[in-house]
Amino acid sequence: MSGLKVVDPAAQAEFTRRVRILFPRSHQWEEHYVEHEMAHVRHLLVPGLCPVEGARALEFGCNIGATAVVLAHLGAQVTAADVEPEFLELAELNARRYGLSGRIRFEHIVPGGRLPLLDGSVGVITCNSVLEYVPHTQLRAALRELDRVLEPAGRLLVFGTSNRLWPREMHSRRWLTNYLPRWLDSRLRAPIQRGVWPWQLRLAFPSYRDVLAGEGSAAYLRAKRRMGLRGPKRVALELLSGVMGMTGLSPGLLAPNITLLLEKPR
């Protein structure tokens, strides 16, 4: 895993114990979440795309800290923020088991609230499979907060976000729920899980440069190949990239899981 190894057996044992309690049905996924991120997102966190070595980074919605661990391993000084205290406790154990506690600061945040960071204080922000879980009435405010704390020429990376354009919602795996109107939620016991419309994300940052558009799409395709994309999916993405190249938008905006890399103006 490119040098990332468990170095604290006690933290490893406690992390495993708590994960199995909190995620009894999916604990095998959570136990290996860091390995998954190392095999995937790290290929975007490189020079030419989203370099993080030496950067101050924010993982917004850190969950159990997998992306924060990868960011710290790659040389970033990380603030990892989440609304769930139980997730933050697991994230701290996750960092400890890899010996990276000193490079990650964990912050509990209030839904819809202000981030505990100064204006323009971070150079990289990552949002991994989180924006679709922000209540839709709070999403615009959350995106404004990300803009506030990102420094000029900083980069915002959104990935793993379920795309509401697709007929199957990627997290719940349910068909057609993406297309159901939100007024239905008030008549149901629990809100329906939906993705995010890609234009909600792109239009929230109108002056930002789309790093993966145009010539940048070739770097995105190389990263996807390194992540293991093969066969028909690879061919489809290459064709999509060619079509999107004529629009000035990145192909990741139309993928089932949105990938969007934006650079803030200087």
Rounded CA Rg of the chain: 18
According to DSSP, the residues that pair with 124 across neighbouring strands are 57, 155
Q: What's residue 191's pLDDT?
A: 82
Q: What's residue 49's pLDDT?
A: 95
pLDDT averaged per 10 residues in sequence order, the chain, 266 residues = 86 97 95 95 94 98 97 98 96 97 96 95 98 95 98 98 96 95 86 94 97 91 92 88 83 94 97
What CATH number should be reported for the domain whose range is 9-168+190-263?
A: 3.40.50.150
According to DSSP, the residues that pair with 263 across neighbouring strands are 155, 209
DSSP H helices in the chain:
9-22, 27-31, 33-39, 66-73, 85-97, 139-149, 198-203, 216-226, 231-245
CA–CA dist 32, 23 (Å, integer): 13
What are the extents of the domains in the chain? 9-168+190-263
- Residue 71: which of 146, 4, 143 has the closest Cα? 4
In the numeric block, the tokens 């468990």 are attached to: 6
Q: What's residue 261's pLDDT?
A: 98
Whether pTM exceeds 0.85:
yes
Q: Residues 149, 115: contact at Cβ < 8 Å? A: yes
